[in-house]
């Protein structure tokens, strides 16, 4: 489903500030795999997601979705195949627009259609159906500016928005990090339900050792732009949070990276 071949990313290339952010990363992810990604600050986690969405151009290598080479595709062209939910709920939604206007924009992501067309009666009924499943009462607030909602409510809608239009790949960039533990647990359960229902291929960046093992079926660790740990199946099922934390600390000690580890977020 996703294949990266010797992907290399340099920032400030050719200057005194040149920095290698991804070092010849090769990675294959099968359709339907749900992969959690951990690593220290500056390890390349968000860059890896940006590479997939097309928000960062790679310096070297190739990227494939299925058998299609999307290496030079811009973000807007990839939008029909890959969607993203950000750490900050404010980033994934437009606070001055209403709930239904945000949903309408997501529903026609990548298409050149006006809001008037997107806010048809049929679409409004569909939005109500989607929101009712959240059990947050948001189906009654379609006309409210989304900026009036709480962070957890906006993040729940961001998840719904990400999968409204047909797509295959979902990338989650620490999408529960800005939430309190109770709300984070709700968003994680919602994420699982959506992934299962839509049969999505997922990369989820997290700082939580608990989430890294609780969610999905595969875990990667990035350090200094390289994949240093890749585990799935029975080997992964045997790991405990303490095992992953110990391995993380060993890597951090060797590389000098520093990071905050959240065990129970």
Task: Assess if residue 48 is contained within a domain.
Answer: yes
Distance CA 147, CA 23 (A): 39
Longest dimension (CA), the chain: 58
Q: What domain range is 11 assigned to? A: 2-92+166-255
Q: Would 261 be classed as within a structural domain?
A: no
Q: What is the CATH number of the domain that holds 202?
A: 3.40.50.300
Residue 132 lies in a domain: no
DSSP 8-class letter at 98:
B
Q: Taking the model in full, what pTM does it have? A: 0.90
The total number of structural domains that make up the chain = 1
Residue 13 CB-density burial (10 A; 0-12 exposed, 13-18 middle, 19+ buried): exposed
How would you classify the pairing of strands 218-223 and 169-173?
Answer: unpaired
Q: Where are the alpha helices (DSSP H) in the chain?
A: 45-53, 75-78, 99-107, 115-118, 121-132, 151-164, 181-198, 209-214, 233-237, 241-255
The answer to whether 231 and 38 are in contact (CB under 8 A) is no
**pLDDT tens-digit profile, the chain (265 residues):** 999 999 999 999 889 999 999 999 999 999 999 999 999 888 999 999 999 999 999 999 999 999 999 999 999 999 989 999 999 988 889 999 999 999 988 887 756 555 555 678 888 898 999 899 899 999 999 999 999 999 999 999 999 999 988 899 999 999 999 999 999 999 999 999 999 999 999 999 999 999 999 999 999 999 999 999 999 999 999 999 999 988 888 876 666 555 555 444 4
Q: Has residue 198 been placed in a domain?
A: yes
Residue 210 located in a structural domain: yes
Domain annotation covers residue 176 = yes
In-domain check, residue 29: yes
């Amino acid at each position: 489903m996703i294949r990266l071949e010797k992907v290399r990313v340099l920032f400030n290339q050719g200057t005194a500030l040149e920095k290698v952010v991804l070092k010849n990363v090769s990675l294959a992810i099968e359709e339907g795999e749900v992969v959690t990604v951990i690593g220290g600050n500056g390890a390349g986690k968000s860059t890896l997601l940006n590479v997939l969405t097309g928000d960062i151009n790679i310096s070297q290598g190739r990227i494939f979705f299925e058998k299609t080479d999307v290496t030079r595709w811009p973000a807007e062209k990839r939008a029909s195949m890959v969607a993203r939910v950000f750490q900050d709920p404010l980033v994934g939604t437009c606070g001055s627009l209403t709930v239904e206007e945000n949903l309408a924009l997501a529903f026609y992501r990548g298409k050149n259609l006006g809001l008037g067309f997107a806010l048809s009666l049929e679409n409004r009924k569909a939005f109500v159906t989607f929101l009712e499943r959240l059990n947050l009462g948001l189906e009654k607030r379609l006309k409210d500016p989304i900026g009036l909602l709480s962070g957890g409510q906006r993040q729940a809608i961001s998840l719904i928005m990400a999968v409204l239009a047909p797509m295959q790949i979902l990338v989650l960039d620490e999408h529960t990090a800005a939430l309190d533990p109770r709300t984070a647990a709700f968003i994680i359960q919602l994420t699982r339900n959506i992934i299962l229902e839509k049969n999505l291929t997922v990369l989820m960046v997290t700082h939580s050792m608990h989430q890294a093992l609780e969610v999905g079926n595969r875990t990667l660790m990035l350090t200094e732009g390289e994949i240093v740990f890749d585990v799935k199946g029975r080997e992964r099922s045997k790991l405990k949070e303490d095992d992953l934390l110990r391995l993380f600390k060993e890597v951090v000690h060797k590389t000098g990276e520093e990071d905050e580890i959240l065990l129970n977020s």
